[in-house]
């Protein structure tokens, strides 16, 4: 699927002059069926923070066609930011940004928030986007399938599904601005870090009209069987953030297969909170669960359900060899993704034959690794743009 082909098959995009409510109306099945992945379906100006506005010539909210769980056509929303000034020869290099856990409900979509995250006092993603724009990269962000639209839910944390929405966002973004070039990177954090590791497996056949230069993965989750066992083993005092992640995973598992009951994943006292789980974004849900009496998080017999075992297996980010090099970044004080887990993942990626540059940052946490690693990240990307061979620590 080349960018030119996708653009050529597109109907004229609908530009919404109204508020969020109109923009996030889900398109008809007929509209989706007559378009190809990466087709731009709608766009409108996006209000952003002063910091982002100060380094952008355009900030645009987008809706585009992607591919669903059963290969059906779906709509996904996101955003496109173009740097200030004139584009270099060949256009601005593109960063496809893949965000961390935000929630599963409509209000949790990053494109609904001026700072790119539903928590107003969380500056990390805004800061990263602003620095990338300042350093001469267009930034394209996907909301992921299910986020943003009323009456839809995000298939958290389905790595393969998210990765396809990342690729299609780049194809769509180049229909928004002719200043965007063909060269691009995929950068992701947390949930998004797993998704971008799968991008390299798909990109050669699904975005052949673009030139993929590599993946930057910051604190990726992996080894989900161990995660499920960790949920099951948790005892008081219960970590509310861990309970929130388990609850979101239960929503994603049930979307994957209705034969997976919420109680197959969760302890009964957490499963009864699912109606609120579907509405509250990550910080809100964590605060709420911190005030709920929980004695357990997970179901120790989760593996008894074959569909749930399949679901857990497909979440793994190391499934096949990447067509581009990988920069794998991890803080050694990360309490969400242990450094030992990412070190194990690094070995698996190396065994697949990937070119991996693995770096650990002393003192960096799950979130602060974004700023701690930025100098290395931008240097690594500059070297790829200049055609230097990617280093490997394998």
Interatomic CA distance for residues 360 and 393, integer angstroms: 12
Cα three-residue angle 350-99-131, rounded to 5 degrees: 95
Q: Which of 11-15, 31-35, 126-130, 330-334 is least confident?
A: 11-15
Residues 117-135, mean pLDDT to the nearest whole number: 97
349-365: pLDDT as tens digits: 999 999 999 999 999 99
pLDDT in the model for residue 16: 41
Residues 215-222, mean pLDDT to the nearest whole number: 98
Interatomic CA distance for residues 102 and 231, integer angstroms: 19
More confident position, 13 or 229 = 229
Residues 262-277, mean pLDDT to the nearest whole number: 98
- Cα distances (angstroms) measured from residue 332 to each of 94, 188, 338, 342: 29, 18, 7, 10
More confident position, 73 or 206 = 73
pLDDT at 327 over 60: yes
pLDDT in the model for residue 21: 55
146-163: pLDDT as tens digits: 999 999 999 999 999 999
Closest by alpha carbon to 149, among 63, 47, 44, 254? 63
Interatomic CA distance for residues 168 and 181, integer angstroms: 15
pLDDT at 270 over 50: yes
pLDDT in the model for residue 26: 97
Interatomic CA distance for residues 225 and 248, integer angstroms: 16
Residues 93-110, mean pLDDT to the nearest whole number: 98
160-171: pLDDT as tens digits: 999 999 999 999
pLDDT in the model for residue 207: 73
230-246: pLDDT as tens digits: 999 999 999 999 999 99
Q: Which of 82-86, 129-133, 201-205, 364-368 is least confident?
A: 201-205
pLDDT in the model for residue 205: 67
Output the pTM of the full model. Answer: 0.93
| pLDDT bracket for residue 20 (50, 70, 90) | low
pLDDT in the model for residue 2: 30
| pLDDT bracket for residue 22 (50, 70, 90) | confident
Q: Which distant-in-sequence residues (6+ apart) come within 8 Å of 313 by Cβ?
A: 224, 225
Give the CA dihedral 211, 148, 178, 180, nearest 10 degrees.
Answer: -40
Residues 172-185, mean pLDDT to the nearest whole number: 97
More confident position, 205 or 296 = 296
In the chain, the percentage of residues whose pLDDT exceeds 90 is 91
Q: In the predicted model, what is the mean pLDDT of the chain?
A: 93
pLDDT in the model for residue 6: 32
221-230: pLDDT as tens digits: 999 999 999 9
| pLDDT bracket for residue 19 (50, 70, 90) | very low
What are the start-end ranges of the H helices in the chain? 3-8, 20-23, 29-33, 50-53, 124-134, 159-176, 191-206, 224-233, 240-256, 262-265, 268-271, 274-277, 282-289, 306-314, 339-351, 369-372, 374-385
pLDDT in the model for residue 203: 81
């Amino acid at each position: 699927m080349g960018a030119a082909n996708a653009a050529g098959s597109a109907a004229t995009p609908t530009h919404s002059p109204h508020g969020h409510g109109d923009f996030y109306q889900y398109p008809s099945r007929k509209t989706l069926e007559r378009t190809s992945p990466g087709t731009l379906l709608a766009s409108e100006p996006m209000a952003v923070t002063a910091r982002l506005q100060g380094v952008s010539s355009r900030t645009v909210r987008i809706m585009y066609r992607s591919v669903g769980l059963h290969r059906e056509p779906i709509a996904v929303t996101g955003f496109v930011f173009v740097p200030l000034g004139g584009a270099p020869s060949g256009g601005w290099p593109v960063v496809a940004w893949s965000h961390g856990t935000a929630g599963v409900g409509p209000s949790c979509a990053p494109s609904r928030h001026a700072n790119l995250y539903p928590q107003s006092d969380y500056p990390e993603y805004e800061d990263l986007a602003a620095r990338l724009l300042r350093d001469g990269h267009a930034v394209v962000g996907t909301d992921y399938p299910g986020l943003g639209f009323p009456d839809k839910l995000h298939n958290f944390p389905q790595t393969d599904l998210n990765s396809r929405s990342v690729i299609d966002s780049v194809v769509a973004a180049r229909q928004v601005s002719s200043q965007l070039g063909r060269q691009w990177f995929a950068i992701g954090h947390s949930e998004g870090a797993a998704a971008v590791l799968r991008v390299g497996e798909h990109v050669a056949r699904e975005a052949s009209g673009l030139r993929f230069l590599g993946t930057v993965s910051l604190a990726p989750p992996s080894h989900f069987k161990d995660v499920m066992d960790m949920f099951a083993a948790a005892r008081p005092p219960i970590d509310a953030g861990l309970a929130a992640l388990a609850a979101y995973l239960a929503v994603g598992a049930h979307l994957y297969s209705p034969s997976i009951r919420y109680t197959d994943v969760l302890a009964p006292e957490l499963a009864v909170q699912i109606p609120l789980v579907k509405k509250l974004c990550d910080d809100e849900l964590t605060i709420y669960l911190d005030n709920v009496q929980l004695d357990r998080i997970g179901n120790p017999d989760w593996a008894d359900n074959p569909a749930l075992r399949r679901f857990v297996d497909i979440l793994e980010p190391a499934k096949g060899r990447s067509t581009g090099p990988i920069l794998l970044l991890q803080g050694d004080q990360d309490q969400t993704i242990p450094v030992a887990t990412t070190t194990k993942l690094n070995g698996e990626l190396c065994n697949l034959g990937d070119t991996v540059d693995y770096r650990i940052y002393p003192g960096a946490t799950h979130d602060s690794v974004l700023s701690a690693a930025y100098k290395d990240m931008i240097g690594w990307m500059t070297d790829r743009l200049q055609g230097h061979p990617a280093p490997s620590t394998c």
